[in-house]
């Protein structure tokens, strides 16, 4: 079967990964309503036609508004994030347990461990620290409970070797949940962002922001960037989709250009919609997360499914969307290109 979009890798990966591993990557918390809503919310963002909006909101997925007779022979996808120029606004989301998909494959109570990890990141040439703030406890992931999730015997928590953090033991439910409960600092507060700034010169990105209030607090406490995220719907179920929270976060940032507003997405039109709502960069949604293996960029699904370079596929889709929408650079993508289900309807022309 020829792969024509990123989501088609998922069923192939399901065939090739052990059930426990696939379920870990693919499932969400509890009823998985938010997991579905992360995708459904994108499909409810429609394209506008010229300057007129549809008066009836459809749940079908529409292309963005086409602007015709514009020279789109050259499309510039480049942008700047945290002062670094990158070739496109599609980046790699942080994730864990990558070796379960392929052999190449949080803040701990012990602050000395955190400091060692930060120094290791600096030495490796990383450009920022992503502080995950929505995991004081692990969400109830029922698939992991049913599967008695644990690391396969040949794998270890490689980043933590030599740091005396123990190991993930088999339990009667989820070994991961039990391990996190014993290691992650539940007392994490805003002041800890400032402590983290004392041990590194790298910019701190706060990952897990979904409200205007937390956006303002992130800026107030010195965060250099914000990642709008509901943890891939793996923490608290029935919270809004990330794309539904994005515009509120953008407005609360009030032009603070140090804030890099990012949201999860899965295809080229999603990228366009997120940028139209004010995002400055996009992370592919979990578990469509990039790994660098043998010179290829590929997702966790791709590790077992094989096929075309996924980041290139997303780039091609996004570039085509821009061309057909008549946008030659990212600055030409505006809020006028889309309508959300919260926007007031406008009449359709009778002509």
| Per-residue tokens: 32 | 């998985």
- In the annotation, is 231 catalytic? yes
Residue 94 annotated as binding site:
yes
C-alpha distances in Å from residue 186, one per residue of 93, 178, 231, 263: 23, 14, 17, 25
Q: What long-range pairs does 184-189 form, CB within 8 A, spacing at least 24?
A: 184/106, 184/107, 184/108, 184/109, 184/135, 184/136, 184/137, 184/138, 185/107, 185/108, 185/109, 185/136, 186/136, 186/137, 188/107, 188/133, 188/136
* Phi, then psi, of 55 in degrees rounded to 5: -85, -20
Residue 337 annotated as binding site:
no
Residue 218 annotated as binding site:
no
What's the rounded Cα separation, in Å, for the pair 128 and 207? 12
Residue 215 annotated as binding site:
no
Q: Which residues, including other chains, have CB under 8 Å from residue 270's CB and lie 6 or more apart?
A: 42, 243, 282
Q: Annotated catalytic residue: which of 74, 102, 221, 231?
A: 231
C-alpha distances in Å from residue 169, one per residue of 100, 112, 113, 152: 16, 23, 20, 11
Coil, helix or strand for 33?
helix
Residue 132 annotated as binding site:
yes
Residue 4 annotated as binding site:
no
What's the rounded Cα separation, in Å, for the pair 208 and 132? 6
Residue 89 annotated as binding site:
no
Q: Which residues, including other chains, have CB under 8 Å from residue 339's CB and lie 6 or more apart?
A: 45, 46, 47, 48, 53, 54, 57
Q: Is 92 exposed, middle or buried (0-12, 13-18, 19+ CB in 10 A)?
A: middle
| Per-residue tokens: 188 | 């994490």
Find out whether the peptide bond into 115 is cis, omega within 30 degrees of 0: no
What's the rounded Cα separation, in Å, for the pair 138 and 96? 14
Burial 309-322 (b: 16+ CB within 10 A, else e): bbbebbbebbbebb
Residue 95 annotated as binding site:
yes
Q: What's the gap between Cα 233 and its chain centre? A: 11
Annotated binding site for FMN: 94-96, 207, 229
Q: Would you name the residues annotated as active-site residues?
A: 231
Annotated binding site: 24, 94-96, 132, 141, 207, 229, 231, 234
């Amino acid at each position: 079967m020829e792969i024509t979009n990123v989501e088609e890798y998922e069923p192939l990966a399901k065939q090739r990964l052990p059930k426990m591993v696939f379920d870990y990557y693919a499932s969400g918390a509890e009823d998985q309503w938010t997991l579905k809503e992360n995708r459904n919310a994108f499909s409810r963002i429609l394209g506008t036609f010229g300057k007129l909006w549809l008066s009836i909101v459809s749940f079908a997925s529409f292309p963005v508004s086409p602007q015709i007779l514009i020279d789109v022979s050259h499309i510039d996808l480049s942008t700047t994030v945290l002062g670094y120029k990158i070739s496109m606004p599609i980046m790699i989301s942080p994730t864990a347990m990558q070796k379960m998909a392929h052999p190449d494959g949080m803040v701990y109570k012990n602050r000395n461990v955190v400091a060692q990890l930060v120094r290791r990141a600096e030495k490796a040439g990383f450009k920022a620290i992503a502080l995950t703030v929505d995991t004081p406890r692990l969400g109830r992931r029922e698939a992991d409970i049913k599967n008695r999730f644990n690391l396969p015997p040949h794998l270890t928590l490689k980043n933590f070797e030599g740091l005396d953090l123990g190991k993930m033991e088999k339990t009667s439910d989820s070994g991961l949940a039990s391990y996190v409960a014993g290691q992650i600092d539940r007392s994490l507060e805003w002041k800890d962002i400032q402590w983290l700034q004392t041990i590194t010169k790298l910019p701190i990105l706060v990952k897990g922001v979904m409200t205007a209030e937390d956006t303002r607090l992130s800026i107030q406490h010195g965060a250099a960037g914000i990642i709008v995220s509901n943890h891939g719907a793996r923490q608290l179920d029935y919270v809004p989709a990330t794309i539904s929270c994005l515009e509120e976060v953008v407005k609360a940032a009030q032009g603070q250009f140090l804030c890099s507003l990012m949201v999860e997405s899965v295809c080229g039109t999603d990228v366009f919609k997120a940028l139209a709502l004010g995002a400055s960069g996009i992370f592919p949604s979990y578990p469509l997360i990039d790994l660098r293996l043998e010179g290829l960029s590929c997702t966790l699904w791709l590790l077992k499914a094989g096929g075309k370079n996924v980041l290139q596929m997303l780039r091609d889709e996004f570039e085509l969307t821009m061309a057909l929408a008549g946008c030659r650079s990212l600055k030409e993508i505006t809020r006028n290109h889309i309508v959300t289900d919260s926007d007031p309807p406008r009449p359709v022309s009778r002509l």
